[in-house]
Amino acid sequence: MLVILSDDEDASTHYVIDWLLHLKIQYYRINDTSSVSIEYIVDKSNNIEFILNVKNSHSKNYISISTDEIYAFWYRRGCINLNQPIITNSSSDEFDIVKERINKYMDEENSKIVDFLHSYFTTIPHLGCFKDNFSINKLFILQQAKQEKMLTPHFMIANNKSTVKQFIHKHTYCIVKGIDKNGFTIRKKIVLSNLSKLVSASELEHFPENFNYSFIQQYIDKKADIRVFYLDGKIFSTAIFSQNDEKTKIDFRNYNEEKPNRIQPFKMPEVEKKKLRKLMNKLNYKTGSIDYLLDKNSNLYFLEINPIGQYGFISQKCNLFLDKEICKYFKQRCNV
Say yes or no: 180 and 98 in one domain: no
- DSSP class of 79: -
In a domain, 53, yes or no: yes
Cβ distance 187 to 124 under 8 Å? no
pTM for the whole structure? 0.87
Is the pLDDT reported for residue 314 higher than 60?
A: yes
Say yes or no: 10 and 86 in one domain: yes
Is the pLDDT reported for residue 336 higher than 90?
A: no
Amino acid 17 reads I
- DSSP class of 34: S
Say yes or no: 39 and 117 in one domain: yes
Say yes or no: 176 and 197 in one domain: yes
Say yes or no: 225 and 194 in one domain: no
Say yes or no: 185 and 119 in one domain: no
In a domain, 158, yes or no: yes
Residue 26 is part of which domain span? 2-133
In a domain, 65, yes or no: yes
- Spatial separation of the C-alpha atoms in residues 195 and 250, rounded to whole Å: 9
Say yes or no: 84 and 168 in one domain: no
Cβ distance 117 to 80 under 8 Å? yes
| DSSP helix/strand/coil, 26 | coil
pLDDT tens column, 102-130: 888 888 999 999 999 999 999 999 999 99
Helix 11-22, helix 322-333: angle, nearest 10: 50
No. of helices (H) and no. of strands (E), the chain: 9, 18
pLDDT tens column, 135-175: 789 999 999 999 999 999 999 999 998 898 888 888 888 88
Cβ distance 75 to 131 under 8 Å? no
Q: Domain with 169 in it: what CATH number? A: 3.30.1490
pLDDT tens column, 2-42: 999 999 889 999 999 999 999 999 999 999 899 999 999 99
Say yes or no: 181 and 242 in one domain: no
In a domain, 284, yes or no: yes
Band of residue 319 on the pLDDT scale cut at 50, 70, 90: very high
User: Which one of 195, 219, 243 terminates a domain?
Assistant: 219
H or E segment to which residue 322 belongs: helix 322-333
In a domain, 326, yes or no: no
Say yes or no: 129 and 20 in one domain: yes
Start-end of H helices in 48-92? none
Cβ distance 307 to 75 under 8 Å? no
How many structural domains comprise the chain?
3
pLDDT tens column, 262-271: 899 999 999 9
Q: Domain with 259 in it: what CATH number? A: 3.30.470.20
In a domain, 78, yes or no: yes
User: Which one of 102, 133, 164 terminates a domain?
Assistant: 133
Say yes or no: 207 and 270 in one domain: no
User: Which one of 202, 219, 236 terminates a domain?
Assistant: 219
Say yes or no: 116 and 42 in one domain: yes
Say yes or no: 162 and 43 in one domain: no
In a domain, 314, yes or no: no
In a domain, 335, yes or no: no
Closest CA to 317 of 269, 270, 261, 276: 261
Residues in the chain: 336
| DSSP helix/strand/coil, 306 | strand
